[in-house]
Structure 1
Amino acid sequence: MERIILASKSPRRKQLLEWAEIPFDVMVKDTDEMYPASLPIDQVPVYIARNKALAVKEELSHDRLILAADTVVVLNGKVIGKPVNKENAIAILTELSGQVHEVITGVVLMRDDAEIAFADITEVEFHKLSPQQIEFYVNKYKPYDKAGAYAIQEWIGVVGIKRVKGDFYNVMGLPVSRVMKAILEFEN
């Protein structure tokens, strides 16, 4: 398999690609994560991922396969981003407590003028979390770089998640099996 370019600084995405034994190099260019308000919610992370891939593509001097991804959490039709501070993280987790929400990861693979883009959706249900549990998690794990203010592979996922319907790894930030199929499509 050819080495791809991962257009993400996410340690979780790097780890997932390593687990899948997909060879890659990381190349990141800061991009704006704003999106048009009229965009359907399931297309928001695809739009952001595409912008990440395009920014990296502009920097490349030769043709390489680029993988970019973005993850959002959606509760009751509203996109919940990354928390801006401790109070915001606590408020987000309080809102998610006892609720079912969706985690949507948008993926874009791009080389030359060819592109494969998709969104993968996983449903996650939290147990009712106490204020003490939420505060403990936020204080210890500081989830400020995580959509929805949590990481499923950390303490809160182990004790706080009641049910996952869909790809577990999608909640970590990358639906790896689907990505692998898309990479193989580019290689054929």
Structure 2
Amino acid sequence: MRPFLFNTLAQKELILASGSPRRKQLLTDLGFDFRVDARSVEENYPSELQGAEIAEYLAKLKASPFTPTEKQIIITSDTVVWHKGVSLAKAANKAEARSMLGALSGNWHEVISGLCLTTSNKQWVGSQTTRVKFTALSEEEIDYYIEQCQPFDKAGAYGIQEWIGLIGIEGIEGSYFNVVGLPVQLLYQQLASFV
């Protein structure tokens, strides 16, 4: 017998507004029926925003191109790597990726995923934070990872589920899946109270 939430959501159309294969896989793993409809927005945010404020602002911004019907729930998310008061966005090239991974090497940082649920008559925005510690990485390890995995579509220039996560993550405090890119426990909890 499936949880009650599945029956409730069967009356709704879930739309994942993200082109991320990782978010798509995590939502699939939750067992929900949904479709993907990723629409592009300029991911700019006010310079005074910090950490979770950035992730939540961008998650909400990604919902702005949609005008949902009564039966639709739009799911948008954005992940920020926050280190020493700076947001590490997606690396534009190998040099930026090398610089970001060098800064994270041997240090703790925060991975913050903003989450936004939008219907025709209400919107909820929140976030989840996970602390992650990298061991000290050698230049050869960083270069090998960049060459093998081309992590230019990921905040902070790394994916925890990839080779660098296997050999480099020394500690984690909080949700692993949040670091992958979608705070699935928070999503499940909010959908239960949202519908």
Q: TM-score range by the shorter chain?
A: over 0.9
Shift of 1:45: 1.1
Structure 1: distance between partners of 2:76 and 2:163: 27
Structure 2: distance between partners of 1:61 and 1:112: 6
Greater helix content: 1
**Mapped contact 2:115–2:126 kept (Cα < 8 A):** yes
Question: Residue in 1 aligned with 2:64?
Answer: 54
Structure 1: distance between partners of 2:158 and 2:103: 12
Structure 1 residue ranges, 4+ long, deviating more than 4 angstroms after superposition: 60-63
Note the 1:36-51 alignment, pairs <5 A: 36-51=46-61
Structure 2: distance between partners of 1:36 and 1:113: 26
Amino acid at match of 2:14: I
Amino acid at match of 1:180: Y
Structure 2: distance between partners of 1:40 and 1:75: 11
Amino acid at match of 2:169: I
Shift of 1:118: 0.5
Aligned pair partner of 2:111 in 103, 109, 117: 103
Q: TM-score, normalised by structure 2?
A: 0.92
Question: Residue in 2 aligned with 1:172?
Answer: 180
Amino acid at match of 1:154: E
Question: Residue in 1 aligned with 2:3?
Answer: none
Percent of aligned positions that are identical: 39
Report how many residues are paired.
185
Question: Residue in 2 aligned with 1:113?
Answer: 121
Aligned pair partner of 1:80 in 70, 81, 88: 88
Structure 2: distance between partners of 1:143 and 1:23: 29
**Mapped contact 2:69–2:120 kept (Cα < 8 A):** no
Deviates more, 1:30-39 or 1:100-109: 30-39
Structure 2: distance between partners of 1:62 and 1:186: 13
Q: TM-score, normalised by structure 1?
A: 0.95
Question: Residue in 2 aligned with 1:10?
Answer: 20
Which blocks of at least 5 consecutive residues in structure 2 are unaligned? 1-8
Task: Deviation per CA, 1:128-158: give whole Å up to 9, x if none.
Answer: 0000000000000000000000000001001
Which blocks of at least 5 consecutive residues in structure 1 are unaligned? none
Structure 2: distance between partners of 1:95 and 1:61: 44
Shift of 1:93: 0.4
Structure 2: distance between partners of 1:15 and 1:109: 18
Q: CA RMSD in A?
A: 1.2
